[in-house]
Amino acid sequence: MSETQGSTSRAAALYLSHGAPPLLDDEIWGGELSSWSKQLVKPKAILIVSAHWESEPLSLSATEPGVPLIYDFGGFAPRYYQLQYPAPVAPELAARIKAIVGEPVVEHRRGLDHGAYVPLMKLYPEADVPVIQMSIPTFDPEKLFALGKKLAPLRDEGVMIIGSGFMTHGLPFLRDWSINATPPGWSKEFDLWAAEALGRGAVDELMNYKSLAPGMPYAHPTVEHFAPIFITLGAAAVADVAPEITIDGYWMGLSKRSFQVV
């Protein structure tokens, strides 16, 4: 949906797969992210939940300027440890989150991690949208979905809600680390199952992915990269529409499937 379409200013809810910093040099995937944002109403602020921050109670990133990014990765070229994404902070959004979630919320002097700033550098490269990152407080799908529903009213205030993970993330089981690697069977099976369930709006089946999805546990030997999907789905529940797939395909054999609800 472009800025000239639609009758409301409701911001989108996204689930996106994010890569390590080399994603920034990938013309195909980077181009898909850049094109995606151009089709959306530009948000007034962004609330992003990254797979790389698990913290209970619910926690928020820094609301004062100048807190450095977190370079939470290893083994890459030195230039990736010089990346900057000086987005404005969002203290007003932090206050709104505290007001609507109905549970304790802790603010940390913590910068954005790569699960937040790597995709944002492609979505909004000018870093002109205020951003706050929220932790994953639990891996329980029902609780995350309920949290997303609590946050959903923020979308009517122009706040984009992003769950940032990876549709499949079986890193220990990869044998070919080239970007164009043939996806393993477990990655393809899980990806196609998730796409079909999303197309039917079968949130209950997605919540039971550990027992229902083919390709488990290889697709997600740990669950932090799938968990953000439930916050997105909760935040999207206010709209009576199925998620729209915006990116598909594979990167190093992992599914980069991403979707939106506008």
pLDDT in tens, 60-89: 999 999 999 999 999 999 999 999 999 999
Q: Which of 19, 34, 220, 45 is nearest to 114 (CA)?
A: 19
Asked if 60 and 105 touch (Cβ cutoff 8 Å), the reply is yes
Q: What is the mean pLDDT of residues 248-255?
A: 97
The residues pairing with 132 across neighbouring beta strands, listed in sequence order, are 47
For residues 168 and 187, give the distance between their C-alpha atoms in angstroms, rounded to a whole number: 6
pTM: 0.95
The residues pairing with 131 across neighbouring beta strands, listed in sequence order, are 46
Residue 33 has pLDDT above 70, yes or no: yes
pLDDT in tens, 136-169: 999 999 999 999 999 999 999 999 999 999 999 9
Q: What is the mean pLDDT of residues 40-51?
A: 97
For residues 135 and 95, give the distance between their C-alpha atoms in angstroms, rounded to a whole number: 16
| Predicted local distance difference test score (pLDDT) of residue 239 | 64
| Predicted local distance difference test score (pLDDT) of residue 240 | 67
| Predicted local distance difference test score (pLDDT) of residue 193 | 98
Band the pLDDT of 9: cuts 50, 70, 90. confident
Residue 3 has pLDDT above 50, yes or no: no
Fold of 13-169+224-261: Protocatechuate 4,5-dioxygenase; Chain B (3.40.830)
Band the pLDDT of 241: cuts 50, 70, 90. confident
Cα dihedral 240, 242, 247, 252 sign: positive
For residues 124 and 146, give the distance between their C-alpha atoms in angstroms, rounded to a whole number: 28
Least confident of 188-202, 209-223, 228-242: 228-242
Angle at 34 between CA 28 and CA 245, to 5 degrees: 80
| Predicted local distance difference test score (pLDDT) of residue 237 | 86
Least confident of 155-164, 174-183, 235-244: 235-244
Residue 184 has pLDDT above 90, yes or no: yes
Q: Give the start-to-end residue ranges of the domains of the chain.
A: 13-169+224-261
Q: What is the mean pLDDT of residues 29-56?
A: 97
| Residues whose CB falls within 8 Å of the CB of residue 212, separated by 6 or more in sequence, listed in order | 193, 205
Q: Which of 125, 105, 120 is nearest to 160 (CA)?
A: 120
| Predicted local distance difference test score (pLDDT) of residue 7 | 36
| Predicted local distance difference test score (pLDDT) of residue 4 | 32
For residues 232 and 244, give the distance between their C-alpha atoms in angstroms, rounded to a whole number: 12
Q: What is the mean pLDDT of residues 18-35?
A: 95
